[in-house]
Structure 1
Amino acid sequence: MGTQTDHIIVGGGIMGLSAAWQLAKRGERVHLIEQFDPHHSRGASHGSTRNINNAYHEGFYLDLFDEAFALWRELEAGAPEPLLGLHGLVTQGDEAVVLAAHEALVARGADVALLTPAEATARWAGMRFAGPVLLGRQAGIGYAARALDALEAAAVSAGATIERRARVRGIDASAERVRVEVEGADGALRTVEAGSAIVAAGAWSKPLLEGVIDLPELTVTEEHPAHFAPRDPAHVWPSFNHMFTPDQLDERGGNVYGMPSPGEGVKVGLHAVGHVVDPDQRTFAPTPEVRAAVREHVSEWFPGLDPDTGVEMSCTYTSTASGRFVLDTVGPLTVAAGFSGHGYKFAPAVGRILADSATGAALPPAEFRLPAHGIGTPEGSSPTRL
């Protein structure tokens, strides 16, 4: 006998759990299917920390950030531990990028400041600065592992069902309702049926939806940031971005991001430089080139870190050509994909967008819908199931 529900969610990472929370607290019946155990290291949602970074100049990202921030606080109010650590985030490097973000944030009344290198060094002696430095004070880190637990607890408390160690083997959205074939933890196959399904499966989204929905190119890469030990435990650290000009990127490979991770050191990573992988056939090992490039950056820009102490971690990016997310509904299916290594901080707001789209309450922002990625939206794809 198959399972009947209102909404199926495929994928129990930060986006799938955010959607489950948003739907369940509206009274919708939700069944989330996740192939791995909690806090697994196979995707993009694991680890202790992520940046809460508002250094954007585009209004649609800043709108999303503001909504997500309020929802993080709402979720945090019911969690046993803090979910945000707002020690500030600094952005330096490409002056045009720094000044554009500063201008956009000032126009919104955000709590930001533009510092000189000397002013920044006086605050954060473990770092080296050059050019204007944007400080965002309502920024810092999100405690990623805590957030996963808090979202799952909130969703389950509101009535959602979470099924783990279960793999989706097929999706049929040819009728008004969605039928999902699931291989359970016991190996038995069964069907789950619902009025809508949200696919938020990270690196597995494209293969799951092959032949079901036309998606833009989604490139899955394996990325390897590393934690480095501070030389002086008295140093304080912000979260940070180092944005390079296009000609510098040709030489360096990627922009740099990072943050303090309590108990692990300071995380430093190159953005979107990893090798293309099959998510089921990963090595989890960094390439010598990426390993050397991260250490070179630490040696040049972080005098307060020991570059010989790096301990790599592995995660995946699933990226679009533009770096913009894919959020849209086609018939009874809603897709959330292509978060391109910068989606975490927006997760609660993305969950609200997915819930609205799946229930027919509202479309996602135009910047994230399929036509914005060059994919024509089939007739009748607007979410009209009120």
Structure 2
Amino acid sequence: MKVVVIGGGAWGLPTAAELASRGHSVHLVDRYGIGNALASSSGPSRIWRIGDPDPRRVRLGRRGIAALERLQGFADAPLFRRQGMLWRHPESAAQLVRSARAEALDFELVAAERVPGIFPGLRDDGRDAVLLPDAGTLVADRVLETQLARFRAAGGRLSTGRYALSVERRPTSPRIRFADGTHDDADAIVIAAGPGAKQLLESLDLPAPLHTHLEQVVHFPTAPEVDGDALPVLFDGPRGEEPGIYAMPSLGVGYKIGLDGPLRAHSHDDTDRTPSAERTELLRARVARDFGALVPEPLDAQVCSWTDTPDGDFVLDAVGDGIVIGCGDVGEGFKYSALMGLVLADFVDGLPQDDDVLAYGIRRFGPAAAQHDFSEATRIGQHADRAASSGASHSHDLRGRRDHGADADPR
């Protein structure tokens, strides 16, 4: 089968590699090139975790790390590290714990005064936390390099510098039209174009309630006596008007910290990735106040994009006529990268999907979704709010359950 994959990022590249490994003739098209600075998938590190307030995400997380372990067999160096994750946000931690228990996932409840012992130097701000052992850092650039090597070894063809404008349904085969006036026909087309997906979905008259944000991260050095690569990853949730942050080691680079909120909106032709001095200073001040193991002197700053959906969930579907879509990473797509290659390839091959994947179909969006207000972006832990609105209570008292040895055993 001839397959064209649009987008060589965290979902498109693994899909192309998997399809080529299955014997298909695969043409991967990316406008700017693999791992380029304008892509959602650029940069040295990402967080991986299995725990999530949404039980579906827990199940996908388990499958994701299994797929990553399979990919490790193709790599010469480690693709991920397991440092654990500290989740300090009581408002979503209650549902996180319920979800972990329901899915038999290991966790530990951490009283506020014990937080600096789990994360050296992290300020005790009076909030209890949850430790997720099955979490850590992805070596993101190495993951992409490994998938690209797989793709090339299987005979895949990569084209860069071509901008896909539209996808057309045709009686014989779908067609992609490019900005240079050329087109490609194929037996199947996979749309995994990140910020460019909205325009392609609209060309197919599909609901396209996608909105792309830009976000900024900053690396900081660790104190000389601290092994920065061994520090846990962190979600330090919002407190009142102060936004939350997420953070992780970038192996050999520094400790990366980002604000859990967009820098600004993004459009498909926006190539400005200039970091905001104001955002850098905001993060520097947080490091100086809260992170005793870090030196509050920024090493660098990076701006990247991510694509949001109205419900904060992915879009994964086969929409007929040989067209498959994988978009709406909602800022959390890379941790499922290896899995998405398998899922989207299975859609192309017409293989059955389970209910966890089928729940992300594009048909869940009605006409009203096109009018969604994206000024309030999806944030980490959002699915705990959704669980509450569907009847779950947030009355779970973390302070009343400090016997972390007992609670570490999943139930």
TM-score after normalising by structure 1: 0.87
More moved, 202-211 vs 230-239: 230-239
Match of 1:162 among 158, 170, 176: 158
How much does 1:302 deviate? Answer: 1.3
Confirm whether residue 181 of structure 1 aligns to residue 195 of structure 2.
no
Residue number in structure 1 paired with 2:127: 131
Instruction: Tell me, yes or no, if the aligned pair for 1:198 and 1:335 is still in contact at 8 Å.
Output: yes
Q: Distance in 1 between matches of 2:367 and 2:45?
A: 34
Instruction: Tell me, yes or no, if the aligned pair for 2:306 and 2:330 is still in contact at 8 Å.
Output: yes
**Structure 1 residues 181-227: Cα deviation after superposition (integer angstroms, max 9, x where no partner):** 346xxx7x543221110010111111233321423321111111111
Instruction: Tell me, yes or no, if the aligned pair for 2:51 and 2:134 is still in contact at 8 Å.
Output: no
Instruction: Tell me, yes or no, if the aligned pair for 1:295 and 1:310 is still in contact at 8 Å.
Output: no
Q: Distance in 2 between matches of 1:194 and 1:64?
A: 30
**Structure 1 residues 28-48: Cα deviation after superposition (integer angstroms, max 9, x where no partner):** 222111122332111111111
Confirm whether residue 212 of structure 1 aligns to residue 204 of structure 2.
yes
Residue number in structure 2 paired with 1:367: 359
- In structure 2, relative to structure 1, the CA distance for the partners of 1:294 and 1:279 (3 Å cut) is farther
How much does 1:53 deviate? Answer: 2.2
SS at match of 1:127: coil
Q: Distance in 2 between matches of 1:15 and 1:296?
A: 34
Match of 2:261 among 272, 278, 297: 272
- Letter of the structure 2 residue corresponding to residue 304 of structure 1: A
Q: Distance in 1 between matches of 2:184 and 2:274?
A: 37
Q: Distance in 2 between matches of 1:63 and 1:133?
A: 22
- In structure 2, relative to structure 1, the CA distance for the partners of 1:215 and 1:112 (3 Å cut) is same
How much does 1:324 deviate? Answer: 0.5
How much does 1:142 deviate? Answer: 0.5
Instruction: Tell me, yes or no, if the aligned pair for 1:10 and 1:197 is still in contact at 8 Å.
Output: yes
SS at match of 2:14: helix
SS at match of 1:50: strand
**Structure 1 residues 132-164: Cα deviation after superposition (integer angstroms, max 9, x where no partner):** 221111210000000001111122223322222
How many residues are treated as equivalent by the alignment?
Answer: 362
Residue number in structure 2 paired with 1:57: 53
Q: Distance in 1 between matches of 2:359 and 2:237?
A: 23
Listed as ranges, the gaps of 5+ residues in structure 1 are: 377-386
- In structure 2, relative to structure 1, the CA distance for the partners of 1:333 and 1:306 (3 Å cut) is same
- In structure 2, relative to structure 1, the CA distance for the partners of 1:373 and 1:314 (3 Å cut) is same
Structural mapping, 1:50-199, within 5 Å: 50-93=46-89, 95-129=90-124, 130-182=126-178, 190-199=182-191
Match of 1:203 among 195, 203, 215: 195
How much does 1:306 deviate? Answer: 2.8
SS at match of 1:307: coil
Residue number in structure 2 paired with 1:384: none
How much does 1:83 deviate? Answer: 0.5
How much does 1:262 deviate? Answer: 2.2
How much does 1:288 deviate? Answer: 4.8
Structural mapping, 1:318-337, within 5 Å: 318-331=307-320, 332-337=322-327
Identity %: 25
Instruction: Tell me, yes or no, if the aligned pair for 2:201 and 2:208 is still in contact at 8 Å.
Output: no
Q: Distance in 2 between matches of 1:136 and 1:88?
A: 6
- In structure 2, relative to structure 1, the CA distance for the partners of 1:374 and 1:348 (3 Å cut) is farther
TM-score after normalising by structure 2: 0.82
Q: Distance in 1 between matches of 2:33 and 2:297?
A: 33
- Letter of the structure 1 residue corresponding to residue 334 of structure 2: Y
How much does 1:375 deviate? Answer: 5.8
Instruction: Tell me, yes or no, if the aligned pair for 1:42 and 1:279 is still in contact at 8 Å.
Output: no
